Every structure is written in structure tokens, then in C-alpha cells.
């Protein structure tokens, strides 16, 4: 029995000592809500809360099977955001990051350093794709409209050249066009692998409205579509009277037409009455024939 009690007693003493030491030394507040925010490969790690003057934050990140690294711009910092865009070199890898609560820059402390881990993140799979720009060209027969899409620029560069999303995604990048007749709610969609998109079979002379989204089918469903572009509408070669003139002008024209009609009717009635009166007067002035 003695050989069993000694280790148990020693373990109990060790646990009490550990708890007492940690309670005496204390620990820094842990980072909360550690989140990745990324658009067009501009990748930020964010968290809460803002630290007091007693501690700071250091970020560590790594991909599966690789060494842990510390970005030079996020060591013992009072910020709650770390820009990792240029550090995540392998865009298809999955990364995790830790936000450590540590002593302020240039100071040491007996407090215990703690950390909070982020979810997994892959730039290639998870970055949001921003809003594209495009211009419209209408064919001479007015039955086809071409959209010229400008591929969104990313935060990445190669050989001193800023890269766009086509440079990174290549043939995986497509564009989804949603269009409708102007002032109509019915919509149609068209998917193109090219940045030059031709929409044919349109009604001649009709105005159509378009918006575009980047579309990457290889991604998970919630990440396939990028941000919607601004909506643009083609011009109508045969605009309606309501598009050519304001409501006030149209109302004034209708009122003028009604006044003219009323005037014509009044003049016609007046003339008829005078003619009838003249005819009646003429009959009364004719003498009766003798028998």
C-alpha cells in the first residue's frame, strides 16, 4: 500500500503547485473571434479585443507539414489585424494561424502566454472574388450585345506585374451573366468561359439590362460565385413616349388636346345653332301664297 500512496501524494502536490503557480502568475487575455477575411487574395487575419498596454499579440501560421512561421509585421503588435497576403505563397495549401497573447514589445513578463487558433483557410478555395467591370457593345442589327469584362485585379504580383484573377484561375474561371428586358422582372442567365461574352437572340430595338459575376465551378457551392457587378442597360432605339418626355409635358399635351376638342365642339354647336336660327327666320318671312 505504501508504494501506491507515495506517487498519488506526489501527483497531488504537483497539481496543487501547478494551480497555485498559474493563479499567482496569471495569464494574458486570449484573442477572440479569430477570422480570415480575404477578397481577390488580399488576405487578412482579424481578431478581438484591442489589447491593453500590458500585453500585445504575435501571429504564427503554417500549412500542413510545414514549419511554423511568424510574419515580421505581426510580432508583438497592438493591432488586431495581420496582413498575410504576401506570406501565403502556396495558394492551394490550407493554412491555420495562431494569435498569441504575449508581453508588449521590449518587455518581459511572468504571465503565461496563451493563444487562439483560426479555422483552416485556402486562398485558392476560400478568397472571395470581387466585383468585375464591363462595357457593352450592341451589334448593327441590334440583335446581339457583347459584354467586355475586365478581370478583377488581385493583391498578388509576379515578376513585378500585378496579377488578375484570370492569371491565377486560368481556365477554371468563367463568368455568369444575368440579363432581362429593361423594366421587366423576368431574368435569363448565360455562362461563358471567356471575358468577351456575346448574348444573341435579343429582340431588336429593346433595351436590356445586364450584370456579371465571376464563376468558379470547381469551388464549394457557397464560394462559386463572386460579387455582382453594377447593372448596365443598353440603349433603346425606339423609346416610348414616356421615356422621351416627362410626365408634366405629357399631361400638358393631353390637356391641350382636350381643350382643342372642347373648343371644336363648342364652335360646331354654336355654328349649328346659328344656322338653324337663320333657317327658321327665313321661313317666317316668306308670305303665304294666294289661293
Cα separation, 67 vs 58, in Å, equals 16
What CA–CA distance (Å, rounded) separates 54 from 113?
Answer: 12
End-to-end CA distance of the chain: 168
| 13-22, 164-173, 237-246 — most confident range | 164-173
pLDDT for the residue 21:
40
Strand (E) or helix (H) holding 273: helix 247-284
* pLDDT higher than threshold 90 for residue 40: yes
**SS3 category, 257:** helix
pLDDT higher than 60, residue 230: yes
Q: Where does residue 121 rank: exposed (0-12), middle (13-18), buried (19+ CB within 10 A)?
A: buried
Average pLDDT of the segment spanning 275-288: 63
Q: Order the strands of the 114-117 sheet from edge to edge.
A: 56-63, 95-102, 114-117
Q: Distance between CA 264 and CA 60 in Å, rounded?
A: 90
Q: What domains can be seen in the chain, in order of their start residue? A: 22-126 (2.60.40.10), 133-237 (2.60.40.10)
Pick the closest to residue 51 from 7, 105, 3 (CA basis). Answer: 105
Q: Would the pLDDT of 3 be above 50?
A: no
pLDDT for the residue numbered 19: 42
Note the pLDDT tens digit of each residue in 41-55: 999 999 999 999 999
What's the pLDDT band for 249 if we cut at 50, 70, 90? confident
Are 113 and 102 in contact by the 8 Å Cβ rule? The answer is yes
For residue 119, what is the DSSP state? Answer: P
Query: In a 10 Å sphere around its CB, with 0-12 CB exposed, 13-18 middle and 19+ buried, how is residue 3 labelled?
Result: exposed
Q: Whole-angstrom Cα distance, residue 5 to residue 221? A: 60
Amino acid at each position: 500500500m505504501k508504494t501506491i500512496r507515495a506517487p498519488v501524494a506526489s501527483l497531488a502536490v504537483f497539481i496543487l503547485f501547478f494551480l497555485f503557480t498559474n493563479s499567482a502568475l496569471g495569464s494574458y487575455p486570449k484573442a477572440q473571434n479569430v477570422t480570415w477575411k480575404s477578397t481577390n487574395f488580399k488576405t487578412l487575419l482579424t481578431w478581438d479585443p484591442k489589447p491593453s498596454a500590458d500585453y500585445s499579440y504575435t501571429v504564427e501560421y503554417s500549412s500542413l507539414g510545414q514549419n511554423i512561421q511568424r510574419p515580421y509585421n505581426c510580432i508583438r503588435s497592438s493591432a488586431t489585424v495581420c496582413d498575410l497576403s504576401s506570406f501565403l505563397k502556396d495558394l492551394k495549401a490550407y493554412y491555420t494561424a495562431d494569435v498569441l497573447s504575449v508581453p508588449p514589445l521590449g518587455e518581459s513578463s511572468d504571465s503565461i502566454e496563451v493563444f487562439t487558433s483560426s479555422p483552416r483557410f485556402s486562398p485558392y478555395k476560400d478568397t472571395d472574388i470581387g466585383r468585375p467591370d464591363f462595357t457593352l457593345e450592341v451589334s448593327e442589327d441590334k440583335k446581339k450585345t457583347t459584354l467586355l469584362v475586365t478581370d478583377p485585379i488581385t493583391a498578388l504580383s509576379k515578376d513585378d506585374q500585378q496579377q488578375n484573377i484570370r492569371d491565377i484561375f486560368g481556365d477554371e474561371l468563367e463568368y455568369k451573366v444575368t440579363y432581362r428586358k429593361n423594366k421587366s422582372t423576368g431574368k435569363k442567365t448565360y455562362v461563358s468561359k471567356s471575358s468577351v461574352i456575346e448574348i444573341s437572340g435579343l429582340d431588336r430595338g429593346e433595351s436590356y439590362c445586364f450584370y456579371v459575376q465571376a464563376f468558379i465551378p470547381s469551388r464549394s457551392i457557397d464560394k462559386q460565385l463572386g460579387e455582382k457587378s453594377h447593372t448596365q442597360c443598353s440603349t433603346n432605339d425606339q423609346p416610348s413616349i414616356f421615356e422621351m418626355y416627362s410626365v408634366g409635358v405629357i399631361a400638358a399635351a393631353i390637356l391641350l388636346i382636350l381643350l382643342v376638342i372642347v373648343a371644336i365642339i363648342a364652335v360646331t354647336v354654336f355654328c349649328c345653332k346659328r344656322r338653324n336660327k337663320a333657317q327658321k327666320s327665313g321661313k317666317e318671312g316668306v308670305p303665304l301664297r294666294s289661293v
